[in-house]
């Protein structure tokens, strides 16, 4: 008898596509009316003030001497040579954020998919379901499916 645990999507090995396979600043953004229809307030702070990122990191880093902030993640994602704390903040975000929070960070301009994937490659390894999920955001000409 063979017992298999977990969703195959979580268990199936997956390589994260290279950053170049993802949209950068040229990514098509959802129209404002679609975002409003999904409950996204267009007046919410964006970029280094992303509320989605701030709330997840505030919760996840509550026991840290100096909790991480959205501004730190914003810088960490873009840093070509992240410092130790920046790498820790990045790994924490990629481990703790739900898929809806990862999408929320992108919607709120905390990062581009290319920036996030580049940072993930620097801080890896990561869970299979995260790699599968991120690969779904690759440009159509690089899509793994």
Q: In the chain, what are the domain boundaries? A: 45-142
Give the start-end residues of each E strand in the chain: none
Quick one: pLDDT at residue 96? Answer: 95
Quick one: pLDDT at residue 8? Answer: 62
Quick one: pLDDT at residue 95? Answer: 94
Bond preceding residue 125 cis, omega within 30 of 0 = yes
Mean pLDDT by groups of 10 residues along the chain of 145 residues: 57 87 83 73 82 95 95 96 95 94 91 95 87 91 67
Quick one: pLDDT at residue 56? Answer: 96
**Is residue 117 a contact partner of residue 19, using CB atoms and an 8 Å limit?**
yes
The whole-model pTM stands at 0.84
Which 3 state secondary structure label does DSSP give 52? helix
């Amino acid at each position: 008898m063979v017992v298999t645990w977990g969703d195959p999507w979580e268990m199936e090995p997956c390589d994260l596509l290279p950053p170049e396979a993802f949209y950068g600043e040229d990514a098509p953004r959802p129209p404002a009316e679609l975002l409003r229809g999904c409950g996204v307030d267009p007046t919410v702070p964006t970029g280094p003030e992303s509320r989605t990122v701030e709330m997840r990191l505030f919760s996840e880093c509550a026991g840290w001497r100096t909790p991480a902030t959205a501004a730190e993640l914003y810088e960490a994602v873009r840093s070509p040579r992240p410092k130790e704390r920046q790498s820790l903040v990045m790994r924490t975000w990629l481990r703790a954020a739900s898929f809806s929070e990862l999408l929320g960070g992108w919607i709120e301009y905390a990062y581009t998919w290319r920036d996030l994937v580049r940072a993930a490659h620097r801080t890896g390894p990561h869970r299979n379901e995260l790699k599968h999920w991120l690969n779904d955001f690759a440009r159509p000409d690089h899509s793994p499916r």
